[in-house]
Amino acid sequence: MKAAIAATSIGFTVGGVSATSRGLGQILLSRAALVTIAGLLIYSGSELAFDPPSDLLNFVAHHFVHVAVIGLGAWFACWLALRKNVLIPVEAIARYLSRLRHGRIERLVCETKATEIEIIITGINQLAERLKVTSPGDLNAALTAVQELRVHLNRVSATDPETKVPVMRALTRLESSLLLLLCKEAPEKE
């Protein structure tokens, strides 16, 4: 659910998020439960094989309680580390991308100890810097180059005019995109 909300908040449709997706905390909890049950079965099985108990109910209760507590503690410790180093930074990245989509080009400041997340944050900041460098003059120059290319393409005499059609369509799409970028309001400086 959070993934769908985060995805929609940055402009993706709900179709872009799998209906079966779950939060990392839930996935971690289910895996910790599986490992805990497997550990309980293996530990209890070896105890039963080597030293059969006289009271089976007491034996199961003692083994279940401490293995369940250890499993829950391991899950909680992993969840805290995952939350601090992955979940919170990913939520910050999603909010940042939403602001970027609306034209707010700024630096992403987010702390994490996870190298992979740091690489993503660095890449996003480099992208933001690159977007800041692009000026309307650059867009005007690109639009002028597209228009010149269109003129030169029209001058080319081809025996089959149908060969120019895909190129002209691509030029039209490119020109439309450049005009759209040029017409957008410049982001406000903060």
Q: What is d(CA 45, CA 51) in angstroms, rounded to the nearest whole number?
A: 10
| pLDDT interval class at 2 (50, 70, 90) | very low
Given a cut of 60, whether residue 8 has pLDDT beyond it is no
Q: Are 93 and 121 in contact (CB under 8 A)?
A: yes
- The ranges assigned to domains in the chain are 2-102, 136-183
Q: What is d(CA 90, CA 3) in angstroms, rounded to the nearest whole number?
A: 10
Given a cut of 60, whether residue 13 has pLDDT beyond it is no
pLDDT at 176: 76
**Region 60-68: what's the mean pLDDT?**
78
SS3 135: coil
| pLDDT interval class at 57 (50, 70, 90) | confident
**What percent of the chain is predicted at pLDDT more than 70?**
72
Tens-digit pLDDT profile for residues 150-183: 776 666 655 566 666 777 777 777 777 777 766 6
**Region 15-42: what's the mean pLDDT?**
76
Residue 115 burial (CB < 10 Å; 0-12/13-18/19+)? exposed
Tens-digit pLDDT profile for residues 85-128: 888 898 899 898 888 887 777 888 888 888 888 899 999 988 88
Residues 6+ apart with CB under 8 A from 51: none
pLDDT at 3: 47
